[in-house]
Chains A and B, each alone.
Chain A
Amino acid sequence: MAASVRAEPDAATVEVVRNYLNSAAEEMQRTLIRTAYNTIVYEILDFGISLYDADRQLIADSPGLALFLGANDYALNKLVDHVGVENMHPGDIFLLNYPYWSSTHTLDVCVVAPIYAEGEDVPQEDNELIGFAATRAHWLDLGAKDPGYVLDSTDMHQEGLIFPCTRVYKGGEPDEEILELIRFNSRLPNKVIGDLNAQIAALRTGKLRMRELHKKYGSEVVTASIEQIHDHGRQTARDAVAALPDGSWTAVDHIDGTTGDLIRIEVEVTIDGDEFHVDFTGSSDEVDEPLNIPLGMTETVCKLCFKSITTPDEVSNAGQYDPLSVYAPEGSVFNATYPAPTFTIWTAIVSVDIIYKALAQALPGHIPASSGGDLNDIMLYGEDPETGRQFVEANNDAVGWGATDERDGPNALMHITETMVRNLPMEVLENKAPILFDELSLREDSGGLGRFRGGLGLQRDYRITGPVGALSIIQKTKRPGFGLAGGEPGAKNGVVLHLNDGADERVQILVDNTDLYDDGLKWVGMFRGFFEPGEVISNRSGGGGGYGEPFERPPEAVLEDVIDGYVSVASAKGDYGVVITDDLEIDHEATEELRG
């Protein structure tokens, strides 16, 4: 860049530019939601959206899943390195889902476009590159070994069609042969092409807004403003890190895996002045099951945790992540290499609570105790008996959140990785799949014990009324979360199956937990199979952890919990040392005796 006269935008101009970029990213999101063809995009919000400057620095994003915060950063760099910016042209659009580059599983397809100042009709030589727009969204099918979701792949080639930075639009025109290739490789070709078009519509919005911005202020002012936006992000984040205590903290936990062996997750967080480092050394090596995650996804997980304690109220930009560094050894579950399977990205989801577990040692009580820690996803698929059409419906369920040093944990909220996601209304699901719900309720006694109680998980019972395929995606059913300062973890996640005879032939149990419980019920984690009328899938989500000693919880608060049925009379007595009479009153004498 010429070191001549630099435009110095004033504070208002910088703010106007920042605003403009943020609303451009928001507008991209709304375009995608409105035009998408599959419920996983517009209900579960399984997408990430970002805008970059010409130096590939994030300038605004609008993820659907909190987990997809800045998730396209890694993919964009790989794409530009692979294709070469000199080989990109106005009107080009690229597809990337090679997991180790795209930094997620194959079904999350990154669709990326370079943005040029003069639009699509002016050739690249005379057209200034001003940035990139990127979207990723979950496609319903790319011909993986199983429809819906893959739970047991052993290498990438069972996980669907791969796009290694494939140019699907060239100079504004679609490449029909590539579109045809996609159609022929998908079980749901119309949906997939529809979602591709929705992503392209979102890119078009982003490109248009970026061009308008450059036209209005001139590239110099925009570039200088972006620099100031990044400076501001950098400074805010560095100040926030500097205010945290220095030190190193380690946390270890395990996810279920799918083969009977637990997968180890080890995280070390180091805060040193205004630097923040996360290290995954000590975690399991790559496994022959789809629970490996690419390095880019590992970075994204760290960005989420980092953002939530430094700049939670601001729209993302590259500057905010300047203090953050991440390390995972190559070949670990957190840095998957070809051809390791990566389909079930749940390792990423569960690891978030483990990073918080390390941080909670530095900031006990400010970081809440753990949540239930999972998404408790049940997927239903099959053929609609009336229309004969194939359907796939997925419903995620909320978990209890952890208590802090000043309040109980909230009941039944979506996991921090997907806080914008809503569950599906039962009246909607009963209209779409052969299901009749028997129950949707908060699980009594599922909140972790403590001076401040953890939030409750929930129970949702799906009664099957017609033949249907179903599977669960869940990885934290064997190990509990954590409480803080004497508080205890909440109830674990799990699924109870009520099956007819002969179900062994139809239903594959990948994770069996029956031996963890003594109630005689069939407790499982991950499963997949075909279900018959009369069978029941009872999904039970975990509770949040408690904070502080349970015996220090005021008896009046325990009584209120008993009246509302959040805590049983037995637990009030046995766990909290509070004796509640049949008339729902506190027996103070007996309570004092118990509590000593």
Chain B
Amino acid sequence: MTSSHHLAVDIGGTFVDSVTFDRESGELAVEKASTTPADPTAGVVNAIEKLGLDLADASSFVHGTTLGINALLEREGARTGIITNEGFRDIYEIGRTNLKRDSMYDIRYNKPELLVPRRRRYGVGGRLDAKGNEVEPLDEDAVRDAARELVDEWDCEAIAVCFLHSYQNDEHERRAGEIIREEVPGVSLSLSSEITREYREYERTSTAVLDAYIKPIFDNYVEQLDDTVRDEGFDGSFFITRSGGGALTAESATTAPVHTILSGPAGGLIGASFVGDIIGRENLIAVDFGGTSMDACVIEDGAPAVEYESALEELPMMIPVFDIRTIGAGGGSIGWLDGNLLKVGPQSAGADPGPICYGHGGSEPTITDAALALGFMDPDQFLGGEMDLDADAALSGIETKLADELGQSIEEVSRGMFDVALANTVGAIREITVEKGLDPRDFTMVAYGGAGPMFVPLVARELGVGEVLVPQAPSVFSAWGMLMSDIVYDESQTYISVLEDVDHDEFERRFTELEEELTEQLSVEGFADETQSLERYVEMRYLGQEHTVSVPGQDLADLDELGERFEAKHESRYGHTMDDPPQVVHLRVRGIGETDKPTLEKATADGAGEPVGVRNAYDFAAGEMTDFDVYKRGSLAAGQTIEGPAIVFEPTTTIVFHSDQTAEVDDYGHLLIQGGV
């Protein structure tokens, strides 16, 4: 018997999405089950069961989980202790001492609760200098005593270790790790240098703490889920998606779970890159419009943008994560008045009570209610007719809460709510494109999430983007994308040197060392040489600058060429080069193990879907209510072209485009909406 199914399960705040793809038949099946926060495994199992798949038929199972981030948000992680250098136990508490931006003028600001209080932070003797040379040997007895006290005195379940300059020399951390394992073997351990080899002690400490904090919970969960699916006959590979691209085997995910902490939105980006590759679009802006938020990320030359320093709940993480810009604008975002200004969001009606039209007690007008007022949704066709929408309640809510106050019509206010939400979105996308020297007009937008296909074609018009791609099953696209994950590991090391002082052999040696670690890891996981690939990047800047630019380090003839690549990149991004000498700051390598992925089959053209009706809706191009042709997505055929204005319904989402836009159905069933600029 062959195992021809690929399975992916994505846990979200409200739903668990499951997707399976049968490589032999080319069939895709999609299901949703409720999220079960008390016992996350149950929701995953339910979602898999609904697919009706025999797990023995699945060759791979890719999973994206919010477990780590939930443990953090709810402060339900492990009791964690810190061991660091003597005299420096407050690095973790002092941090960088700034306030978050929206608290800039807040004289009553308070810091978020620390994950590790001062009593559980120990300093031990031993010190390295900035070159990694030992200034003072590690006080091994002090490490032993600290570990014992953390466990005996403070009941710690996890210990994070971070010493100054361990990015240069990890010897003290490794030795401390050995001692801790001997002394308190049951405790879970995170060494900062095992997670990241980059400088900035607070950020590295915080990363190790986050890792330690979620590790015991994560380990249990993965073990439990693995046991459960194996009991059901699953015999394939089990992967977890990473926050910064690709996936890891479940086993390596447990060694540093911090890498999975933002794996939620990662699936959509992998999917968008994959689809882009198939249809020959390398530069994409992926836009996920859900109920409460909009997540956008740039994909350049087929690779989603990654950042190396981010924060969760004001706690920094020094690991690669997708550079996703999130704002509080979604279908559930609430319209409200602030004096004479009309605002939308960031508050959201969420799933409960939800928009007024859900009839679940929501009383504040949302974007979804406005969409109903503008005619974009059919109240009888929501969720494939599973749920009726109360259009009258939506209209009267908009009228009493907003229109009467402003002396405007319901239609005008609804359009205004769209305009305001659009302005917020456009601003956010500008930040990740224009401000990084990228012109949005060179990009295709990918629209997914429940509200994406309705909203993104409007965003595109505003930004001058000429093409919007609506993939198959846009509301579960994130789970779908997970099917397309490769296995990815990143290694990096801080190596600070002015370029002209860099010794080419040393430079090569350091890169090779990182690469060897990666190829070893991939080989252990069973990747044959031909399925492995490596990508080198060098983070560089001009001497004296703080911000770095990532320069591809592949196929360098010599270091002069590296300098030239850096200057070209700096010029294109910032509009100038400088006289100061270029400096190398970090070396990074990404190791990729290519997995066995589903392939998309071209659909055969089979007639053309005809309109099933007409709806009166607001045409943003013409600026008036007009008749939109209505189609059902399932009836559309490859090669078919639909002139806007039109609305295309599918069970869990609605695609809307306007009179200056045209949609084409491509060979894979994607909708490509063009024009509007």
Contacts and interface: CB of A to CB of B under 8 A. Distances in A.
A398 B201 contact: no
B527 interface: no
Contacts of B127: 436
A414 B99 contact: yes
Nearest to A307: B105
Interface stretch (B54-62, B110-118, B587-595): B110-118
Given A27-B430, A228-B341, A387-B498, 5 more contacts: A16-B419, A312-B104, A368-B107, A428-B199, A430-B130
A287 B164 CA distance: 45
A201 B574 contact: yes
A42 B547 contact: yes
B137 interface: no
Interface string A561-596: 001111000000000000000000000000000000
A236 B339 contact: yes
Find the residue from A229, A304, A307, A426 having the highest chain B CB count within 10 A. Answer: A426
Nearest to A410: B111
Contacts of B424: 19
B280 interface: no
A442 B574 contact: no
A426 B205 CA distance: 13
Interface string B468-483: 0000000000000000
Range class of the A interface residue count = 35 or more
B98 A419 contact: yes
A157 interface: no
Contact of B97 (A18, A197, A398, A431): A398
A426 B164 contact: yes
B91 interface: yes
B341 A420 contact: no
B2 interface: no
A166 B641 CA distance: 60
B93 interface: yes
Contact of B199 (A13, A425, A442): A425
Interface string B426-441: 0100110011000000
A342 interface: no
A563 B578 contact: no
B165 interface: yes
Interface stretch (A28-36, A95-103, A108-116, A516-524): A28-36
B537 interface: no
A304 B338 CA distance: 23
B420 A19 contact: yes
20 contacts: A11-B406, A13-B419, A16-B423, A18-B341, A27-B430, A31-B435, A37-B545, A42-B545, A229-B341, A231-B340, A232-B339, A236-B339, A308-B105, A312-B107, A368-B107, A401-B109, A419-B104, A420-B104, A437-B88, A438-B87
A549 B122 CA distance: 33
A12 B201 contact: no
Interface in A48-73: 66, 69
A304 B343 CA distance: 25
Interface string B115-142: 0011100000001011000010000000
Contacts of A412: 90, 93-95, 97
B105 A420 contact: no
B199 A11 contact: no
Interface string A327-371: 000000000000000000000000000001000000000111000
Interface in B601-648: none
A67 to B, nearest CB: 11
A10 B415 CA distance: 11
A387 to B, nearest CB: 6
Interface of A: 10-16, 18-20, 23, 26-27, 30-31, 33-35, 37-39, 42-43, 66, 69, 190-191, 194, 197, 201, 228-229, 231-232, 235-236, 304, 307-309, 312-313, 356, 366-368, 387, 389, 391, 397-398, 401, 404, 407, 410-414, 416, 419-423, 425-428, 430-431, 436-442, 458, 461, 563-566
B412 interface: yes
B88 A439 contact: yes
A196 B200 CA distance: 29
Contact of A441 (B90, B111, B117, B422): B90
Range class of the B interface residue count = 35 or more
A422 B95 CA distance: 9
A313 B117 CA distance: 30
A427 B96 contact: no
Nearest to A201: B575
A66 B109 CA distance: 14
A414 B107 CA distance: 11
Contacts of A11: 337, 340-342, 406, 408, 416
Interface in B361-414: 406, 408, 412-413
B106 interface: yes
A422 B311 CA distance: 14
Nearest to A12: B416
Given A34-B574, A39-B544, A12 B420 contact: yes
B97 A66 contact: no
B199 A427 contact: yes
Contacts of B297: none
Contact of B576 (A42, A197, A565): A197
B102 interface: yes
Interface of B: 87-91, 93-99, 101-111, 117-119, 127, 129-130, 135, 164-165, 167, 199-203, 337-343, 406, 408, 412-413, 415-417, 419-420, 422-424, 427, 430-431, 434-435, 496, 498, 542-547, 573-576, 578-580
B224 to A, nearest CB: 36
B107 A367 contact: yes
Contact of B102 (A229, A313, A413, A440): A313
B573 to A, nearest CB: 8
Given A16-B423, A441-B90, A442-B90, A421 B109 contact: no
B422 to A, nearest CB: 8
Contacts of A194: 578
A10 B98 contact: no
Contact of A427 (B109, B130, B341, B498): B130
B460 to A, nearest CB: 16
Rank and list the top 4 A-B pairs by shortest CB-CB distance, nearest first: A12-B416, A398-B97, A422-B96, A11-B342
A438 B202 CA distance: 16
Nearest to A63: B104
A299 to B, nearest CB: 16
Given A232-B340, A304-B105, A564-B117, A458 B199 contact: no
B456 to A, nearest CB: 18
Contacts of A437: 88, 164
A35 B570 CA distance: 10
Contact of A397 (B97, B117, B129, B547): B97
B106 A312 contact: yes
Contacts of B110: 407, 410
B181 to A, nearest CB: 26
B424 to A, nearest CB: 7
A32 to B, nearest CB: 11
A366 B107 CA distance: 9
A207 to B, nearest CB: 14
Contacts of A197: 576
A12 B342 contact: yes
Contact of A563 (B119, B202, B574): B119
Find the residue from A19, A356, A563 having the highest chain B CB count within 10 A. Answer: A19
B341 A14 contact: yes
Nearest to A413: B97
A249 to B, nearest CB: 16
A38 B544 contact: yes
Contacts of B420: 12, 15-16, 19
Contact of A312 (B105, B117, B408): B105
Contacts of B118: 442, 564-566
Nearest to A458: B94
B107 A34 contact: no
A441 B340 contact: no
B164 A419 contact: no
